[in-house]
Amino acid sequence: MNLKNIFEQLDLPAQCRKYGLSLWECPQFLFFVMGLVIISSILVSYAIGMKYIDDPYIVALVVIAITLILLILAYIITRSFERMAEANRMKSEFVSIVSHQLRAPLSNLKWTIDLLLSEKINLEQEKGLEFLEVLEQNTQRMGDLISDLLMVSRIEQGKFVPRKKSISLKELVDEVIKEMSIFCKVNNANVTFEPEENLPQIFSDPSQTKIAITNLLDNAIRYINDNGKIEMKLAKKDKGLYFEIKDNGVGIPEGDKKHIFQKFFRSQNALKKQTSGSGLGLYIAKSIIEKAGGKIDFKSQEGHGSTFWFTLPLK
Amino acid sequence: MKKILFIEDEVALQKAMGEILNQDGYETISAFNGEDGLKLAQKKNPDLIVLDLVLPKIHGFEVLKELKQDKKTKNIPVIVLTNLEGVQDVEKAIKMGANTYLIKSSYSLEEITEKIKNVLNK
């Protein structure tokens, strides 16, 4: 933390504006106020202690005890305000991200329709059909974003309940690969899948699990480099199944790793590759896997690729 | 024939604007990310650059900065065409030398192409 950072932190009104909160709700300001309260308490308790208690050691102990209690209180209070402020900032950021994400396909639709209505294009020719395809792709794009947002909303409200039944995870992965085959081809991605033999069935919600696998494969394809290679594995592990997807794509920078499962988070590396993308895929995948009683994690090296894996219990 | 370079990652927008402007007698060149945009600007010497801000590889502001620093491209007028509406973005773009800042969702296709032609024919 260099000198410039320290002075920036001391500029309380600016720090508070960053969160979009008033001064009284701002964690830095509260920290400052708590600091003043603690200092005053130390002085007051020392003064009172010295007046009514003879033994200076006892006075010192009393002052230290009071200070410690206040410090712990101050820490708890400022931490919870920090979390609230961060949530508020993320909410504003969410609104701004979503509006921009929806605006992009909307502009595509609007101008394509303007063009078609201007009668400068003959709809019966191939060129005309291309413009109609644009309309279809962009309505799909908006629809997908809205579906993702609704899913996130249901997850947060606890309404995303898995409907479990006995399924073959291998067949589910095969289905996802088939559905994404055109996307793979368009992006020159070479996808391989190596499931172990004789895998047991698992008790899981098929449509939710499929969404999780699709989101992982979607990411692997999107953030691919040239000569994209994606290797998927499925194996029995402990009392469940282990699924892994390894790519040789752009990878995740060290500083971004702790944010990777956050809603709307998109790593700078990802943004540089492709600007559209909701930043919701991994958040949704993680929620699904964890609600199903499994675990999800990854390892990655910037510039070399990532390996995402998850485990699901048999029941 | 006057040449317009579009640096815009949404293919549909390039196609729509390109179709109108081609029919009206202008040549259009496409770049879908900032890096390719800079290369084409230097190579093809367009009469106008229409630049989006949210771009893959390099952000539009970086591209604008490079364009205005490079001797070959600094005098080419630039229209920033984006969906970002923040006042600070507008001020920054103008300060960096953009000719105009236009918000995509505020205009119809016809209005946008008219504005582009106006800047070109000034």
Q: Mind listing the pLDDT tens digit for each residue in B37-48?
A: 999 999 999 999
Is the entire prediction scored with pTM above 0.95?
no
Task: Mark residue B45 as left, alpha or beta (left: phi above 0; alpha: psi -120 to 50; beta: remaining).
Answer: left
pLDDT at B84 over 90: no
| Count of structural domains, chain B | 1
**Burial letters for A135-166: b for 16+ Cβ neighbours within 10 Å, e otherwise?**
eeebeebbeebeebbebbeebeeeebebebee
pLDDT at A100 over 70: yes
Confidence grade of residue A215 (pLDDT, cut at 50, 70, 90): very high
Question: Which amino acid makes up residue A243?
Answer: F
Cα–Cα distance for residue pair A36/A27, rounded to 1 Å: 14
The pLDDT value given to residue A8:
66
Q: Round the average pLDDT of chain B to a whole number and report it.
A: 92
> Which class does domain A165-313 fall in?
alpha beta
Report, as an integer, the average pLDDT of A34-54: 87
Report, as an integer, the average pLDDT of A201-217: 93
Report, as an integer, the average pLDDT of A39-43: 89
Nearest-CA distance A103 → chain B (Å): 7
- CATH number of the domain encompassing residue B103: 3.40.50.2300
Q: Residues B28-77: pLDDT tens digits?
A: 999 998 989 999 999 999 999 999 998 877 889 999 999 999 999 999 99
> Cβ contact (<8 Å) for A107 and B83?
yes
Which tokens sit at A312?
Answer: 């699901």
Using an 8 Å Cβ cutoff, are B49 and B3 in contact? no
pLDDT at A19 over 70: no
Tell me the ipTM for this assembly: 0.89
The pLDDT value given to residue A20:
66
> Cβ contact (<8 Å) for B83 and A120?
no
The pLDDT value given to residue A269:
73
Question: Which amino acid makes up residue B92?
Answer: K
Helix (H) / strand (E) containing B6: strand B3-7
The pLDDT value given to residue A274:
67
Q: Can you name the CATH fold of A97-156?
A: Helix Hairpins (1.10.287)
Report, as an integer, the average pLDDT of A21-35: 79
Least confident of A10-19, A84-93, B113-122: A10-19
Question: Which residue, among B6, B8, B10, would best test binding to A if mutated, counting the most A CBs under 10 Å from its CB?
Answer: B10
Report, as an integer, the average pLDDT of A246-252: 91
Q: Cβ contacts (< 8 Å) between B108 and chain A: which residues?
A: 110-111, 114
Question: Which residue, among A92, A95, A100, A107, would best test binding to B if mutated, counting the most B CBs under 10 Å from its CB?
Answer: A107
Nearest-Cα residue of chain A relative to residue B56: A272
pLDDT at A9 over 70: no
Pairing of strands A305-313, A240-247: antiparallel
Least confident of A61-65, A120-124, A197-201, A228-232: A120-124
* Residues near A145 by beta carbon (within 8 Å), at least 6 away in sequence: A98, A101, A102, A105, A278
pLDDT at A18 over 80: no
Beta bridge partners of A240: A237, A313
User: Where do the domains of chain A lie?
Assistant: 3-89, 97-156, 165-313
pLDDT > 90: percent of chain A: 36
pLDDT > 70: percent of chain B: 100
Confidence grade of residue A92 (pLDDT, cut at 50, 70, 90): confident
The pLDDT value given to residue A3:
73
Which residue of B16, B54, B112 is in closest CB contact with A275? Answer: B54
Name the interface residues of A facing B (CB cutoff 8 Å): 100, 103-104, 106-108, 110-112, 114-115, 118, 120-121, 127, 130-131, 134, 137-138, 271-275
Question: Which residue, among B17, B55, B104, B107, would best test binding to A if mutated, counting the most A CBs under 10 Å from its CB?
Answer: B104
Confidence grade of residue A258 (pLDDT, cut at 50, 70, 90): confident
Least confident of A114-128, A188-202, A288-302: A114-128
Report the candidate in B13, B26, B53 with the shortest Cα–Cα distance to residue B37. B53
The pLDDT value given to residue B73:
92
Q: Residues A140-175: pLDDT tens digits?
A: 889 988 888 888 888 877 788 888 899 999 999 999
Q: For residue A88, give Cα distances in angstroms to A16, A156, A264, A287, A315.
A: 12, 16, 14, 22, 38
The pLDDT value given to residue B54:
86
| Enclosing domain of residue B41 | 3-120
